[in-house]
């Protein structure tokens, strides 16, 4: 039997619209729109932060609002290159070594948050060095807006019916189309299964909740006056949210084989830990270290 209140996936398509131009198809996808909206909202909020010097140490913003537009260009490059290369290195190395030309086909999907995060760090450090901006203060501003893009991206994952969770009999389980509904465990009580909508779990935890916490700390608790505090909360918060949701998230189909039925799950003693959890553990540790460092610096001041 199925969960009595299982939710049938709504009639949503990955493409918002598509048009034919000279034999080529031009399409706007929800995933691309999520990236665009995340970048634009982040740019606008950081502009507002830089226009409020009272929020920063010594009542001095780390850079003028006019320089934020150049920062946006660096961030876009860092997210796209880092996210794609991270996916290639962390998840499908052997496939892309065999078909290296496929690495450039970003529009077909395949981005890693952890890779994109590393790309943004590198891009941000280069930008700070070239423009004389304090790295930790810029990181704090970017940490505030990052959950917006993450949350929108997870909503796009839901619309695309990808990255779904493990089978469940919970009443909020979603019957996703395609393989998600048929590839049930061998002992599942039905030929069709509902799954945890882990995309929505992540949109809530890593997007809405994390942004609300950071916005409160920045606008109400003066977090930007403690360089590194907002960055630490974001890094640790994302790592903890991702680590938690991975317990309900199904391994990606390309990693599941007869010899590896759990996909990209590594064996650590009696427990299993996914690649997403492995990559999240250092984030939690680094984030907590940044929070501790920022708080210690405040008490020493």
pLDDT the model gives residue 279: 82
Distances in whole angstroms, Cα of residue 105 to Cα of each of 28, 88, 100, 108, 109: 16, 12, 10, 6, 8
**Which residue ranges are tagged as binding site?**
154
For every residue of 8-50, DSSP letters joined together read: EPPS--SEEEEEEETTEEEEEEHHHHHHHHHHHHHHHHHHHHH
Closest residue by Cα to residue 200 from 239, 244, 155, 250: 155
Terminus-to-terminus CA distance in the chain, angstroms? 63
pLDDT digits (tens, 9 = 90+) for 21-35: 776 777 778 888 998
pLDDT value at 16 more than 90 = no
Instruction: Supply 24's token pair.
Output: 């080529």
pLDDT the model gives residue 261: 45
User: Token pair 């190395």 is at which residue?
Assistant: 93
pLDDT the model gives residue 250: 86
Contacts of 226 (CB under 8 A, 6+ apart): 294, 295, 297, 298
pLDDT digits (tens, 9 = 90+) for 24-83: 777 778 888 998 999 999 999 999 999 999 999 999 999 999 999 999 999 999 998 888
Looking from the CA of 103 toward its CB, the CA atoms found within 13 Å total 20
Phi, psi of 273 (to 5 degrees): -135, 130
Res. 262 pLDDT band, cuts 50 70 90: very low
Query: What residue segments make up the domains of the chain, in order of their start?
Result: 7-62+134-300
pLDDT the model gives residue 142: 96
pLDDT value at 265 more than 50 = no
Indicate the pTM of the whole model: 0.85
Of all helices (H) and strands (E), which one includes residue 175? strand 174-175
**In the chain, pLDDT over 70 holds for what percent of residues?**
87
pLDDT the model gives residue 268: 43
Task: Provide the β-strand partners of residue 222.
Answer: none
Structure letter (DSSP) for residue 206 = I
| 272, 266 contact by CB (below 8 A) | yes
Instruction: Supply 157's token pair.
Output: 């994952």
Contacts of 70 (CB under 8 A, 6+ apart): 127, 131
Q: Indicate the range of 127-136, 144-153, 231-240, 268-277 predicted with least confidence.
A: 268-277
Total H helices, total E strands in the chain = 10, 6
pLDDT value at 3 more than 60 = no
- Residue 65 CA to residue 253 CA, distance in Å, equals 44
Q: Indicate the range of 24-38, 169-183, 188-202 predicted with least confidence.
A: 24-38
pLDDT value at 205 more than 90 = yes
Res. 260 pLDDT band, cuts 50 70 90: very low
Closest residue by Cα to residue 92 from 280, 251, 249: 251
Phi, psi of 183 (to 5 degrees): -80, 65
CA angle at 88 for the pair 86 and 89, rounded to the nearest 5°: 65
- Residue 105 CA to residue 99 CA, distance in Å, equals 11
């Amino acid at each position: 039997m199925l969960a009595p209140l299982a939710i049938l996936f709504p009639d949503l398509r990955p493409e918002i619209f598509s048009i034919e131009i000279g034999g080529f198809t031009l399409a706007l996808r929800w995933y691309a729109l999520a990236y665009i909206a995340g970048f634009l909202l982040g740019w606008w909020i950081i502009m507002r932060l830089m226009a409020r010097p009272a929020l920063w140490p010594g009542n001095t913003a780390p850079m003028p609002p006019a320089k934020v537009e150049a920062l946006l260009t660096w961030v876009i490059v860092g997210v796209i290159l880092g996210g794609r290369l991270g996916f290639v290195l962390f998840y499908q190395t052997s496939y892309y070594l065999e078909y290296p030309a496929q690495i450039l086909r970003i529009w077909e999907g395949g981005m890693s948050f952890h890779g994109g995060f590393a790309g943004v760090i590198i891009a941000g450090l280069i930008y700070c060095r070239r423009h004389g901006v304090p790295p930790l203060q810029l990181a704090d501003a970017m940490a505030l807006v990052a959950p917006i893009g993450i949350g929108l991206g997870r909503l796009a994952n839901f619309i695309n019916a990808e990255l779904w969770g493990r089978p469940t009999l919970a009443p909020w389980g979603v019957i996703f189309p395609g393989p998600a509904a048929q590839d049930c465990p061998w002992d599942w009580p039905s030929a069709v299964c509902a799954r945890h909508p882990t995309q929505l779990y992540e949109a809530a935890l890593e997007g809405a909740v994390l942004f609300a916490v950071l916005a409160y700390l920045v606008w109400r608790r003066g977090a930007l006056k403690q360089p590194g505090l907002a960055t630490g909360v974001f890094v640790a918060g994302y790592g903890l949210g991702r680590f938690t949701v991975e317990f309900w998230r199904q391994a990606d189909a390309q990693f599941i084989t007869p010899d590896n039925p759990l996909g990209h799950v590594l064996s650590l003693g009696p427990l299993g830990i996914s690649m997403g959890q492995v990559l999240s553990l250092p984030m939690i540790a680094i984030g907590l270290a940044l929070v501790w460092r920022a708080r210690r610096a405040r008490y020493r001041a």
